[in-house]
Structure 1
Amino acid sequence: MNETQTQSSRAARLVGALFLGGFLTYGVGSILTSTATAAPDYLSGVSSNPLFPVGAVLMLLNSAVVTGIGVLMFPALVRHSKAVAAGYLATRIFEAVLLAVGVVSLLSLTGIAQEATAGTLDAGYYGTLAALAVNGGFLSYQVAMAGLGLGSVFLCSLLLRKRLVPRFLAVWGLAGYAVFAVGAVLELLGFAGLGMVFTVPGGLFELFFGIWLLAGKSALTTAAAVPAEKVVVP
């Protein structure tokens, strides 16, 4: 294996680690913040949860992680399709920005809770602000997931056409991300709870794909080592 192949193999493994790291950071962060956002009274939930800011920081870290996935995938993908490579990078940046906006919206609960404790205005006013903050986080997340699902369908289509991963894995990703996007849209339309169910196929794909990349099984590692002038890019 030459130096270029070694570097591309390391990059692919790093992408795999980032896929798994994204689950860890956002998953743990969501658990730490959910005790506040799931409480009947958002403000009391935030005040009684000292780990709420820690969870929010972990969720913000996930935005850096998903951006890294798009950046590191770009060199391998661009040798097969400039459009898909650029689209997937844009998808990940879109996801990162929307998720960060949602977390910032949730973080505003801390300030609202402090103002409510001071009691300078009517309690109902602070309750309304808190509800808006939580709803803002929800909307940002669902729009980000809808975008991720749609953009990743094109990624998996490329993986299938170019045989960069086994056929079953590419088809799994295609179906999983399509269902994922539909679930997010249904949540936005008011069908509460369906988004979580529809997340399962795509979420499991990302876990398996991350492990697959970490194991060095993907042809993306060798594809990145092929000279660009020898590759036909649609």
Structure 2
Amino acid sequence: MSPRTSGRLAGALFLAAFLFYGIGTALADQPVGIALIFLNSAAVAVIGVLFFLALRRTAPRTARTYQTARMSEAFLLAAGAWFLLQDQPETNAVLYAVAMVVLAAGSIPMLLGLSRLGWTPTWFAWWGAAGYALLAAGTALDFAVSGAGIALAVPGGLFELAFGLWLLIKGFPAAAAAPLVPEPPVRPEATG
């Protein structure tokens, strides 16, 4: 599969996952709702694989981080759906919150890496990074004040829709097939 095609597939899956989880949670008391949440997890896992394949040569650490985050998110959301089947919505809510923090932790470096590689406009990557940071903060805030985090999720949600459309139109660049820029080495922080 060409980088352009795999990027377009990733874009379609971003949009599909948004719908699968949104509709699935609205119908979570019905089997079709749980099935849609499981489909969301499958879409999220495939997104992680597609980005790993695209980034593994140009940004291997970023590729591994993002794939791990998306696989973890997929597992946590699927586990949450299973707990919904067991009539344990509180456990599902905790797993969802952890999944969103993990998603943010993996997505922020991925987006900044895409910007560094020139695969996305800088402003677009920063919008996404800010949106994911707000999502993580809102998820944590929601535990203190129920419903308070929804407003903080809006910028990230809008970004995911825009990013899905952007990928659907552009795909990954041809450069995804060849090395471009080596990642800087990780320097251990001094402890003192």
Do Structure 1 and Structure 2 share a fold, with TM-score over 0.5?
Answer: yes
Which residue number corresponds to residue 187 of structure 2?
Answer: none
* 1:232 maps to 2:190: no
Which residue number corresponds to residue 162 of structure 2?
Answer: 208
Count the aligned residue pairs.
184
| Offset at residue 195 of structure 1 (A) | 2.1
Q: Which runs of 4+ in 1 moved over 3 A?
A: none
* 1:62 maps to 2:56: no
C-alpha change, 1:149 and 1:204, in structure 2 (3 Å) is same
Q: Which one of the candidate residues 139, 157, 161 is aligned to 2:116?
A: 161
SS at match of 1:232: coil
Code of the aligned partner of 1:173 = G
Q: Which one of the candidate residues 162, 181, 194 is aligned to 2:148?
A: 194
Report Cα offsets for 1:46-98 as digits up to 9, x if no partner: xxxxxx11101100111000000000011221222211110000000110011
* 1:152 maps to 2:107: yes
| Offset at residue 233 of structure 1 (A) | 4.1
Q: Highest Rg: 1 or 2?
A: 1
After TM superposition, the structure 1 = structure 2 runs for residues 109-188 of structure 1, keeping only pairs within 5 Å, are 109=87, 133-188=88-143
Q: TM-score if structure 2 supplies the norm length? A: 0.90
Report Cα offsets for 1:152-184 as digits up to 9, x if no partner: 111111122222101221110111111111111
Q: Which one of the candidate residues 7, 24, 42 is aligned to 1:29?
A: 24
Q: Which one of the candidate residues 168, 174, 177 is aligned to 1:222?
A: 174
Q: TM-score if structure 1 supplies the norm length? A: 0.75
Structure 1: state its 5+ residue gaps: 1-5, 37-51, 110-132
Q: Which one of the candidate residues 15, 22, 31 is aligned to 2:10?
A: 15
Code of the aligned partner of 1:85 = A
* 1:84 maps to 2:62: yes
RMSD: 1.5
Structure 2: state its 5+ residue gaps: 185-192
Report Cα offsets for 1:11-47 as digits up to 9, x if no partner: 01000000001011111111112xx5xxxxxxxxxxx
| Offset at residue 231 of structure 1 (A) | 4.7
Contact 1:71 1:89 in 2 (8 A): yes
Report Cα offsets for 1:193-225 as digits up to 9, x if no partner: 122111111111111011001111x5x322213
Identical positions, percent:
44
Contact 2:119 2:173 in 1 (8 A): no
Contact 1:79 1:223 in 2 (8 A): no
SS at match of 1:165: coil
